[in-house]
Amino acid sequence: MSKLKDEIAIRRTFGIISHPDAGKTTLTEKLLLFGGAIQIAGAVKSNKIKKSATSDFMDIERQRGISVATSVMAFDYKGKKINILDTPGHQDFAEDTYRTLTAVDSVIVVIDVAKGVETQTEKLVKVCRMRNTPIIVFINKLDREGLDGFDLLDELEQKLGLTVTPLSWPIGMGQRFQGVYNRYEKKLNLFSPHGKQTKEETIEFTDLSHPDLEKHIGEAAAAELREETTMIEEVYPQLDVNAYLKGELSPVFFGSAINNFGVKELLDCFIEIAPTPLPRITEERQINPEEDKFSGFIFKIHANMDPKHRDRIAFLRICSGVFERNTNYLHVRNNKKMKFSNPTAFMAAKKSVVEEAFPGDIVGLYDSGNFKIGDSLTEGEKIHFKGIPSFSPEQFRYVENADPMKSKQLAKGLEQLMDEGVAQLFTKDFNGRKIIGTVGALQFEVIQYRLKHEYGASCTYEPVNLHKACWISYDDKEKFKAFYDRRKRDMAKDKDGKVVFLAESAWTLKMAQENFPEIQFHFQSDF
């Protein structure tokens, strides 16, 4: 029992989120270098999908293939076991990222100093805030000209709704960038471009009014730093670790990932304050990591790139107890016992078979189609983990069978791809037509391609004019019936049989909401 507690205490499972190009891959790599998980820079392949690749879905799939290896990167640092969960930055895979965020205990948000808060960051932070996930912000690329530090903090507060406290503060920027004052450790970290940070460049500096400051950074910068840090003391709250853990206060660091500057400070603070594996909510009860019985859920499924092997990897987040190899566990949805002979752990780009895994760990399970996203595995208890929502898609098309001889293959392929969470499928009540909904245009091509290569099925798409799919709930059956009868042609079921209203336009949605105030319209599936 105490071993379990010890293992939990050293674990930190988190995700790095950012708008593409802010520096997520670079930061991940530097963190891995500190952990000794990789030896050379460039070892982490970028998991991002380049914009030029939008028409070439083979390339996209190849790039997605890389992401299996980099889905989870575990490393040890100062006695802690750190699991970084990778999140695709490309907006067309935003759903993947949302789901991964259900498996982390905290996040680091990377912001490009020149660009400030960008759209993708806004969306992702919103999802974190729904769940009160603790957030640390890293403002990157200080070696370049960018926005003023205070303006950036304002943006974090206004656009992301965060309450912030800067734990480091930049001294100049771009050409004039001299380093940061680390308020957390009370140290002056001096920057030398293209060089590695050395010990001599980190100076204990508890009192910024000391005249030595001028010697290190010059008169003008010293005056500015003193003025700005005084302002920070007056305007921003002190670090309160409990507020951070509740998702109510976000520490902010400044640095330059590519120059490995400010990264160690970020990591050192992170391992001190970031949460250990947190409890998880199920429909039945809260699951605490210290419980001795194992439980976990599947948050991501990745198809095998090789069409000859249709097996997939299901990613399991351990929530409580100890997961052991070759042990029978209950697959709750199927009410079936399963055991796993080759559960996989991920160490940077390496994979290895694990004998046991602890709360906070991610294990890859080879799967031949048994798992759906959100599935629970337990020692026997029938629990259903909550908080793995589907979001209302943004693009819709009718999907039609292009090869009548292969309708079974098409149905199976669609079902499995939907289980993987590639897109969402809605079936209209009125005529049984199937509509695929996605967050980005890319998935339509991915689906068509994969259906052909993995299932031997062909499909075509037809345009359908839809604005949103909303999940419906109601207390009053009669009122629902009245609504249903009125909007019969717009009603559908999602893949789990939940009632969905397909709104043609923002106007029809607004009218429906106004005319039927007793009906609740939800933009995500778990309400």
Q: Which is nearer to ligand G4P, 91 or 140 (CB)?
A: 140
From residue 14 to residue 53, the character string flagging contacts with ligand G4P as x (rule: CB under 6 A) and all else as - is ----x-xxxxxxx-------------------x-x-----
Q: Which two tokens stand for residue 150?
A: 């205070």
Q: Give residue 172's region: left, alpha or beta (phi > 0; psi -120 to 50).
A: left
Select 143 or 494, whichever has its Cβ closest to ligand G4P: 143
Q: What are phi and psi of 246, to 5 degrees?
A: -85, 0
Report the residue number, 23 or 172, with the smaller CB distance to ligand G4P. Answer: 23
What is the closest distance, in whole angstroms, from the C-beta atom of residue 318 to ligand G4P in the complex?
Answer: 27
Burial of 504 (C-beta count, 10 Å sphere; 0-12/13-18/19+): middle
Nearest CB to ligand G4P, comparing residues 111 and 365:
111
Among residue numbers 288 through 347, which ones bind ligand G4P (CB under 6 A)? none
Span 222-261, contacts to ligand G4P by CB under 6 A: 256-259
Q: How far apart are the first and last CA of the chain?
A: 36
CB of residue 97 vs ligand G4P: minimum separation in angstroms? 12
* Residue span 134-163 as binding mask against ligand G4P, x where in contact by CB under 6 A, dash where not: ------xx-xx-------------------
Smallest gap from Cβ 268 to ligand G4P, in A, equals: 18
**Strand arrangement of the beta sheet that strand 179-182 belongs to:** 168-171, 179-182, 187-190, 202-204
Task: Give least dist CB 44 to ligand G4P, A.
Answer: 9
> C-beta of 89: minimal distance to ligand G4P in Å?
5
The CA distance from 128 to 124, in Å, is: 6
Q: What is the DSSP string of 429-466?
A: TTT--EEEEESSTHHHHHHHHHHHHHH---EEEEE---
The 8 Å CB, 24+ separation contacts for 508-514 are 508/467, 509/467, 509/468, 509/470, 512/483, 512/487
CA distances from 63 to 60, 66, 99 (A): 5, 5, 19
* Shortest reach from residue 442's CB to ligand G4P, in Å: 16
Count of CB atoms within 10 A of residue 402's CB?
15
Shortest reach from residue 112's CB to ligand G4P, in Å = 8
**Binding string, 73-112, against ligand G4P, x = CB under 6 A?**
----------------x-----------------------
Nearer to ligand G4P, 22 or 491 (CB): 22
Which residue is associated with the tokens 């006695």?
A: 79
Whichever of 25 and 320 has its CB closer to ligand G4P, that residue is: 25
> Hey, what are 400's tokens?
């039609």
* Tokens, residue 228: 């700005």
Taking the complex as a whole, how short is the minimal distance between the CB of residue 53 and ligand G4P, in angstroms? Answer: 13
Q: Is 117 in the site for ligand G4P (CB under 6 A)?
A: no
Kindly list the residues in this chain that would bind ligand G4P in the complex (CB under 6 A): 18, 20-26, 46, 48, 89, 140-141, 143-144, 256-259
